[in-house]
C-alpha cells in the first residue's frame, strides 16, 4: 500500500514536470514471464504513454496493480526529468555517482590506502597481548 504522502509528492512532481493525468494513456495488460498461471490471468501490468512526448513505460515489478501504477508514473517522471534537465537530473546524478565509485584509483590513492592499512595493522599488533601466560 502506498502512503497518501507519497502519492501527493508524486502528483507535485508530475505537475512540476508538466505531466497531466489527461495527457496519459493508461492500459492494464496481462503480465508475462515466470510466475505461473496467476501472472498470466491477472491484468496487473501497467502501460503508460505520455501523449505530448510519446514516452512509453511498462511496469510489472510488483503483483499489485496499484503499486505498479505508482511505479510506472515514477519511471515516467524520471525519464521526462532526464530529458528536460539532462546532466542535472536525479537519475543522471545517480549514474555519475556509481561511475565515480567504480572508477579505478590512481597510484597515489592506492599507496595512501595501503599505508593506512599498514598503520591500522600496527595498531592492532600493539593491542595484542604481549605474552600469552
Q: Mind listing the pLDDT tens digit of every residue in the chain (133 residues)?
A: 789 999 999 999 999 989 999 999 999 988 777 777 777 778 889 999 999 999 999 999 888 899 999 999 999 998 888 888 876 777 788 889 999 999 998 999 999 999 999 999 999 998 887 765 4
For residue 22, give the C-alpha cell.
Answer: 489527461
Single pTM value for the model: 0.66
Helix, strand, coil content of the chain in percent (nearest 5): 60, 15, 25
HSE, side-chain direction, 13 A CA sphere, residue 78: 13
The CATH number that domain 4-88 falls under is 3.30.160.20
Domain ranges, ordered by start, for the chain: 4-88, 99-124
Distance, in Å, from the CA atom of 58 to the CA atom of 80, rounded to the nearest integer, reads 15
Amino acid at each position: 500500500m502506498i502512503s497518501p504522502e507519497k502519492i501527493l509528492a508524486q502528483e507535485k512532481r508530475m505537475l512540476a514536470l508538466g505531466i497531466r493525468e489527461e495527457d496519459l494513456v493508461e492500459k492494464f495488460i496481462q503480465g508475462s514471464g515466470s510466475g505461473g498461471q496467476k501472472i498470466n490471468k491477472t491484468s496487473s501490468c501497467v502501460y503508460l504513454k505520455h501523449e505530448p512526448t510519446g514516452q512509453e513505460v511498462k511496469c510489472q515489478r510488483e503483483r499489485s496493480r496499484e503499486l505498479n501504477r505508482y511505479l510506472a508514473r515514477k519511471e515516467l517522471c524520471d525519464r521526462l526529468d532526464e530529458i528536460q534537465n539532462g546532466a542535472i537530473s536525479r537519475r543522471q546524478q545517480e549514474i555519475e555517482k556509481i561511475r565515480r565509485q567504480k572508477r579505478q584509483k590512481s597510484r597515489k590513492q592506492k599507496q595512501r590506502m595501503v599505508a593506512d592499512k599498514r598503520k591500522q595493522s600496527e595498531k592492532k599488533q600493539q593491542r595484542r597481548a604481549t605474552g600469552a601466560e
